[in-house]
Amino acid sequence: MISINNTKTDKPARPPDIGGQAVIEGVMMKSPEAIAISVRRPDGSIARAYQKYVAPSKKYKQLGWPVIRGIVNMALMLMLGVTTLDTSTKLLGLETEEPGKFEKWLSERLGLGIEKIVMGVAVVLALGLSMLLFMVIPSGIASLINGLTSNLLVVNLCAGIMRVAILIGYIWATGLIPDMKRVYMYHGAEHKTVHCHEHGLPLTPENARRFTTLHPRCGTSFLLLVMVISVLLGAIADQLIYLIFGIARLSFPLRLLRSLITLPLVAGVSYETLQGLAHSSSLLARALRWPGLMLQHLTTREPDDSMLEIAIDAMLRAMHGPRDAEAQSVTDSSPITAPMEEITPEPGSGLEPEVKPAS
């Protein structure tokens, strides 16, 4: 996934940032004005979804302020990630599992559609697992170490090392799953297509193929930055707690609470750092973004041309809209104009599938 900076720039020569995300058998691309999803169905046809997008900062100027925009962006990408995966599953026509009794009970109690309940339960479980892996376990270890030393930087450094180790192990383990290998290939296709766009080249598989699968604005790099910056801000927060309240050693519940409270600030600072490093060509910036790029070797794979076509198809629609994108050549010989089956989403479900009759 690539994060998107919706702020204006004084350098007209630089194209607007386009971000995206790999989905099941496809790619989502997000421009400052629209979101588009393209997926490859088993029969080789392409199913698409498209939605106009208005940045929150255009509605509320304060949400575009530095650091605050990073917090907003993290929340939006979490919500968009869930919606995008759900939409891609519908576009592929994949059958979903029969909801359990608990989901049906919640649906009746809350008066919501069963699909919304299933998605909500999945989000809660995912967030719970994330908190367990990246907050509860590291906070518990940090509390144990804090009982041995009063050096707050050492305590937070140990917690940070544990988070990075868990992150790398988790990514490596998911890469062993056959379906995830294909998702990582589409992730590589997304990055190559974004590079092609940023270099001002025509969007064709031939042009995109030459670029690397690594990208400095990738969400993988963002996650690593979050882990590193949490060490620094955590040490500062612990020192402030000591100066204000006189607490030199935080108990496990207090350390976990402190991690939750400082998470938005960590996300905001990490976002600003990611954007600054991505758009700088200085030696220092290249050195600082190198670890994140290396981590992307675990989350990206070399795609084939059919995957590049999907990523290009999504980007063209995100940049130009469904109708204008049809006039853009995706390959030198055969533009993608595959039919799409109409899918009716539930009201308020997010992305509206593009209704395009079969040709």
Structural domain contains residue 12:
no
Confidence (pLDDT) at 179 = 87
- Alpha carbon distance 36, 30 (integer Å): 6
* Pairing between β-strand 26-30 and β-strand 46-52 as defined by DSSP bridges: unpaired
Which candidate, 79, 75, 62, 55, places its Cα nearest to that of 5? 55
Confidence (pLDDT) at 7 = 46
- Alpha carbon distance 221, 218 (integer Å): 5
- Alpha carbon distance 119, 114 (integer Å): 9
Range of the domain at 79: 19-325
Structural domain contains residue 353:
no
Structural domain contains residue 203:
yes
Structural domain contains residue 14:
no
Structural domain contains residue 343:
no
- For the chain, the domain total comes to 1
Strand-pairing partners, residue 65, are none
Tokens 């994060």, residue? 3
The sign one gets for the Cα dihedral 122, 221, 315, 339 is: negative
Tell me how many degrees the CA angle 32-35-39 measures, rounded to the nearest 5.
145
Tokens 């599953």, residue? 89
Structural domain contains residue 4:
no
Structural domain contains residue 8:
no
pTM, rounded to two decimals: 0.82
Structural domain contains residue 202:
yes
What stretches in the chain show pLDDT beneath 50?
6-11, 329-350, 352-359
In a 3-state reduction of DSSP, which class is residue 259? helix
Confidence (pLDDT) at 331 = 37
Tokens 């169905």, residue? 41
In a 3-state reduction of DSSP, which class is residue 32? coil
Confidence (pLDDT) at 343 = 33
